[in-house]
Structure 1
Amino acid sequence: MSTAELGLPVDVPSTALFTDRYELTMLQAALRSGAAQRRSVFEAFTRRLPEGRRYGVVAGTGRVLDAVENFRFDAPVLDFLRRERVVDEATLEWLAGYRFTGDIWGYPEGEVYFPGSPVLRVEGTFAEAVVLETVVLSILNHDSAIAAAASRMAVAAGGRPLMEMGARRTHELAAVAASRAAYVGGFRTSSNLAAGFRYGIPTVGTSAHAFTLLHDTERDAFTAQVESLGRGTTLLVDTYDVATAVRAAVEIAGPELGAVRIDSGDLLLLAHRVRQQLDDLGAEQTRIVVTSDLDEYAIASLAAAPVDSYGVGTSLVTGSGHPTCSMVYKLVARAAGGEPLVPVAKKSMGGKTSVGGRKWAARRVDEDGVAVAEVVGSGAVPEDLVDRQLLVPLVRAGEVVGREPLEAAHVRHIEARAGLPLSATQLSRGEPALPTEQTT
């Protein structure tokens, strides 16, 4: 859910300079040539998934809508462009009145996608659509990469809760976006208060090793924390000796102790030992939380361990080795005046070709409702796929119509992933779970 939806005050700056210079120099030249007002269709898609990934996850759609709404060239921005001689006065005058008045369609947030899927379609004049390229790609590439990593981790966790804890491992603003994307991909909580404030994501956190080291003894630290936060708190037990800490934790908090956290060592071995010790001490309901540089593979290796939840940081906010999805934003159709749209496409060598035409997308399923193919076309939609189309309206005539609570994207992703073949959730390297069929 956006800040506006939560009713929270926040200063939203212009997003107009989240762009590359050549977007504006293209605009200037197009205004001069008279082509700037040609009706145009741009699409965001990826030619391939990151190596080894079976599916992608659409995330960042809500942030894209916010960015489009706030794409305004106010006085300080125009003064900067003038001072740096980025564009001429005629272009500055055009930018001063910029408002996106076109239409945007896209895969709903949380949906899965595959190579060639038209994840976002932007329709308007060339001038108003081309300037959105950089900010759209910046958001979609980052957020979708994080969400895909989060989804794989959620699969590996097998239903056990996941906590996002990566704020200290990335840029402070990227951390907030990463927390949001992780929530879309399957995480339930975050340590990041800014993410909680801006998006309503539940926040968690108790103490670090510094709190234990601050006190004269570990028992003093545990006592202070329990007295302040209650018996349901989570005590960090690996500052010194784990077994000694667990015994002290239960003695101080009693069997009502909420959880213990293990942040180092052989997590598999320690989880078993700690579970046995907790049970022997009568704390059968005390949960075990593990952290310590986890990724989807480490989480999967703990599937048989008595672990109740996982905290993930570095690997999550860096996309678990794939910090971008390599999405591109390409002009696929254009028209002059009232003429019909003409498909256009890049035809260069080296795997960077694209398919022209304004596209629709649908997902074909078998008799059991399991997806078997991603179908992308630019002609008429086959009758059997009309009700299986994936793109939904996000902006109509410049007005946002597709904003929704973040929880809806979270639930949608769980449902979309469940509709894929079982091979989609394998962590081993492989081809995309669905083939993409291009039709005209």
Structure 2
Amino acid sequence: MNTADLGLPVAVPSTALFTDQYELTMVQAALRAGTADRRSVFEVFTRRLPEGRRYGVVAGVGRVLDAVENFRFDEGVLGFLREHGTVDGPTLDWLAGFRFRGDIWGFPEGEVYFPGSPIMRVEGSFAEGVLLETVILSILNHDSAVAAAASRMAVAAGGRPLIEMGARRTHELAAVAASRAAYVGGFSSTSDLAAGFRYNIPTVGTSAHSFTLLHDNERDAFAAQVASLGSDTTLLVDTYDVTQAVRTAVEVAGTELGAVRIDSGDLLLLAHRVRQQLDDLGATKTRIVVTSDLDEYAIASLAASPVDAYGVGTQLVTGSGHPTCSMVYKLVARADSADPAAPLHPVAKKSMGGKSSVGGSKWVARRLDADGIAEAEVIGTGPVPPELADHLLAVPLVRDGEVIAREPLDAVRDRHIQARAKLPMSAMQLSRGDATLPTEYV
């Protein structure tokens, strides 16, 4: 089980180099200028959702908390920076004692978000906040993209189980993060053992085509698998002829055969044919699992078929065409000193080309209609209207440098199901369209 989920320390290496060099050179320049300690507020948000998406999914918050906690410049990291002349001596001395001691607020993991939503707010000195920019964005952009794709696939699956099986289609470390994000978005299991070990996600898997090809014939392969794993196993039936393979599978495993998997061909046609054949053979409880380059549209097209579960790989771990959420991390307010009582001044980027930002530390609330369905994302910098006070979305995640909001992954997964259920029905459409909720600034 994930030790973070139990509130225990996570034994992982330093995350301090998961950053861009200019974060450190900005700290060096700010230290020299005497501005590094100015109290500052940074916010994470996206200006727009990926094209065609109706909502986003916040994923990776737990991993962000781990990364912040382990953002330490140990001797190995300092030696690397010293050897390469990345920053000067005084800056190295400052980094040696670095611990994030500020506050972080954010959307609880699994919540949905919309354009402009400040899904995470980092408060501390300028130097503290700017150092965390890249690692926070890299985690949230990747995990939220995968979770959004997973959520759409879960909607398309209509309650049928989804298996994450994309480890071989991405970087080995990204595969573990993608499996976690997919679980947040609604997948029920993974083929990746590292993800199962790290995050206690249920793992599944039986055999590939190579196992069938290893044996002299399909019957011998099925017999070997059933002898090892039992009759409740899943037999892969499309290495040669599907009809013959299904017949052989039931002869070998009996009518209590757990499942058959189809990995190629016309899945809609084959699923109907295989279901009829299994029923005719008396294997009425044998499930049908389909794989083969599925995405949310392919899953939706199989909604009327007798498919019991889907295995998804490439399209899931690459965000189904949108591998990033284009989240940004912007300084939105700063004081003239480190004094906690010093007033914060709103600051904002005013460049052209749609890349401007809104200054000021913000609150965000979701306004609901009379039926409890979301109707708008409301963002403001002043007092919170009384009618929205109970609908604020951000929660404290880190206080005075201490993580205070770790939670089990199953709780995150349940939260997403509940958050999605409060969206208008239009959010469930797979057709291209604008964000389901408008963003209102007050």
TM normalised by structure 1 equals 0.99
Corresponding position of 1:186 = 186
> Distance in 2 between the 1:402 and 1:326 partners?
25
> Distance in 2 between the 1:315 and 1:223 partners?
33
Cα offset, 1:30, TM superposition: 0.3
Query: Root-mean-square deviation (CA), in Å?
Result: 1.1
CA shift digits 1:58-77 (9 cap, x unpaired): 00000000000000000010
Cα offset, 1:336, TM superposition: 1.8
User: What letter corresponds to residue 331 of structure 1 in structure 2?
Assistant: L
User: What letter corresponds to residue 2 of structure 1 in structure 2?
Assistant: N
Distance change in 2, residues 1:8/1:209 (3 Å)? farther
> Distance in 1 between the 2:114 and 2:171 partners?
28
Corresponding position of 2:119 = 119
Distance change in 2, residues 1:136/1:10 (3 Å)? closer
> How do residues 248-287 of structure 1 correspond to structure 2 at under 5 angstroms?
248-287=248-287
Q: Does 1:372 align with 2:375?
A: yes
Corresponding position of 2:420 = 417
Query: Does the 8 A contact of 2:368 with 2:374 survive in 1?
Result: yes
Corresponding position of 1:312 = 312
Corresponding position of 1:242 = 242
Distance change in 2, residues 1:370/1:5 (3 Å)? closer
> Distance in 1 between the 2:232 and 2:277 partners?
18
Corresponding position of 2:400 = 397
> Distance in 1 between the 2:127 and 2:181 partners?
30
Corresponding position of 2:347 = 344
> Distance in 2 between the 1:211 and 1:347 partners?
60
Corresponding position of 2:357 = 354
CA shift digits 1:216-275 (9 cap, x unpaired): 010000000001000100000000000000001001111110000000000000000000
> Distance in 1 between the 2:8 and 2:381 partners?
42
> Distance in 2 between the 1:414 and 1:386 partners?
23
Cα offset, 1:2, TM superposition: 3.1
User: What letter corresponds to residue 257 of structure 1 in structure 2?
Assistant: L
User: What letter corresponds to residue 268 of structure 2 in structure 1?
Assistant: L
User: What letter corresponds to residue 102 of structure 1 in structure 2?
Assistant: G
> Distance in 1 between the 2:51 and 2:441 partners?
22
Corresponding position of 1:16 = 16
Cα offset, 1:6, TM superposition: 5.7
> Distance in 1 between the 2:27 and 2:2 partners?
31
Corresponding position of 1:435 = 438
User: Is the partner of 1:321 in helix, strand or coil?
Assistant: coil
User: Is the partner of 1:319 in helix, strand or coil?
Assistant: coil
Corresponding position of 2:410 = 407
User: Is the partner of 2:320 in helix, strand or coil?
Assistant: helix
> Distance in 2 between the 1:264 and 1:109 partners?
36
Query: Does the 8 A contact of 1:157 with 1:299 survive in 2?
Result: yes
CA shift digits 1:35-90 (9 cap, x unpaired): 00000000000000000000000000000000000000000100110111110000
> Distance in 1 between the 2:199 and 2:380 partners?
35
User: What letter corresponds to residue 40 of structure 2 in structure 1?
Assistant: S
> Distance in 1 between the 2:9 and 2:243 partners?
47
> Distance in 1 between the 2:119 and 2:397 partners?
12
CA shift digits 1:70-122 (9 cap, x unpaired): 00000010011011111000000000000000000000000000000001000
User: Is the partner of 1:320 in helix, strand or coil?
Assistant: coil
> Distance in 1 between the 2:11 and 2:171 partners?
19
> Distance in 1 between the 2:6 and 2:331 partners?
36
> Distance in 1 between the 2:10 and 2:253 partners?
40
Corresponding position of 2:156 = 156
> Distance in 2 between the 1:126 and 1:8 partners?
29
User: What letter corresponds to residue 292 of structure 1 in structure 2?
Assistant: S
> Distance in 2 between the 1:3 and 1:273 partners?
46
> Distance in 1 between the 2:217 and 2:139 partners?
46
> Distance in 2 between the 1:340 and 1:8 partners?
37
Distance change in 2, residues 1:242/1:152 (3 Å)? same
Query: Does the 8 A contact of 1:6 with 1:200 survive in 2?
Result: no
> How do residues 326-345 of structure 1 correspond to structure 2 at under 5 angstroms?
326-337=326-337, 338=339, 339-345=342-348
Aligned residues: 439
User: What letter corresponds to residue 176 of structure 1 in structure 2?
Assistant: V
User: What letter corresponds to residue 271 of structure 2 in structure 1?
Assistant: A
Query: Does the 8 A contact of 1:2 with 1:62 survive in 2?
Result: no
> Distance in 1 between the 2:8 and 2:378 partners?
41
User: Is the partner of 1:53 in helix, strand or coil?
Assistant: coil
Percent identity (aligned): 80
> Distance in 2 between the 1:107 and 1:422 partners?
22
User: What letter corresponds to residue 369 of structure 1 in structure 2?
Assistant: G
Query: Does the 8 A contact of 2:6 with 2:407 survive in 1?
Result: no
Q: Does 1:426 align with 2:421?
A: no
CA shift digits 1:147-188 (9 cap, x unpaired): 000000000000000000000000000000000000000001
User: What letter corresponds to residue 358 of structure 2 in structure 1?
Assistant: V
> Distance in 2 between the 1:71 and 1:48 partners?
29
Distance change in 2, residues 1:9/1:261 (3 Å)? farther
Cα offset, 1:10, TM superposition: 7.1
> Distance in 2 between the 1:172 and 1:424 partners?
32
Query: Does the 8 A contact of 1:157 with 1:303 survive in 2?
Result: yes
Q: Does 1:384 align with 2:394?
A: no
Distance change in 2, residues 1:205/1:9 (3 Å)? farther
Query: Does the 8 A contact of 2:6 with 2:408 survive in 1?
Result: no
Query: Does the 8 A contact of 2:148 with 2:319 survive in 1?
Result: yes
Structure 2: gaps of 5 or more residues: none
User: Is the partner of 2:436 in helix, strand or coil?
Assistant: coil
> Distance in 2 between the 1:418 and 1:145 partners?
19
Distance change in 2, residues 1:8/1:399 (3 Å)? closer
Cα offset, 1:9, TM superposition: 9.8
> Distance in 1 between the 2:282 and 2:208 partners?
26
